[in-house]
Amino acid sequence: MTQVRPMRADARRNYERLLEVAVEAFAEHGENASLDDIAKRAGVGSGTLYRHFPTRQALLEAAFVDRLEGLAAKADEFAAELPPAAALTEWLNELCVATIQVRGLKALLGSAVTDGSSATVTACGVTVRGAATRLVDAAKKEGTLRPDIEPIELLRLAHGLATASELADGQGREIRRYLSLLTEGLRP
């Protein structure tokens, strides 16, 4: 899937410069940062940006792969040092916090778990789903998670909880509370 011929040196330079700038810009202005502005800040024409990243989605994805892989790694850390149920909720908490606090990430994670009907399973979707699946399977095996729950459902619910928490204070202080409501239910 890599280039048959390696990227030309200038192309690679621009590609990387764009990515750097994009990370900054998304952090600064959220998912809707102006693309033309990113191009300008990177010192390239907008044509160059759109050639490397045909859609905002593509750029967003490229800009956040590192962070998503970090998140996936964290899943395995938690799995190693905590009992399965705790590892799962701890990771979901981490995921929700990142969703809210890392500007621009929410849109990406959202589209990573939308129905999409097979086709466009984005790269980051694979990463995050993989991590979720490992934790979910462990918790089910332990018997502390309903067996009818799919990893992807949990990711969607986490996205929903992050949204709810964002409505509350915009900072995610309510995440732990909402997460515990989900795990324990609303009954007294």
Applying CB under 8 A, which residues contact a copy of itself?
A: 110, 113-115, 143-147, 149, 153, 156-157, 159-165, 167-170, 174, 178, 181-188
Q: Measured at the alpha carbon of residue 33, what is the angle toward residues 28 and 34, in degrees to the nearest 5? A: 135
Site string for DNA, 21-40 (x = CB under 7 A): -----------x-xxxx---
Task: Rule CB under 7 A: say whether 19 interacts with DNA.
Answer: no
State which of positions 47-86 bind DNA (CB under 7 A). 47-48, 50-52, 54-56
* From the list DNA, a copy of itself, none, partner contacted by residue 168 (C-beta under 5 to 8 A by kind): a copy of itself
Q: Which residue, 166, 163, 161, 167, is CA-closest to 181?
A: 161
- Closest by CA to 131, choosing from 80, 183, 74, is 74
Whether the CB-CB separation of 23 and 7 falls below 8 Å is answered with: no
Instruction: Say if CB 100 and CB 164 are below 8 A apart.
Output: no
- The token duo for 146 is 């309903």
In whole angstroms, the minimum distance from the beta carbon of 103 to DNA comes to 15
Q: Which residues of this chain interact with DNA, rule CB under 7 A?
A: 5-11, 13-15, 32, 34-37, 43-48, 50-52, 54-56
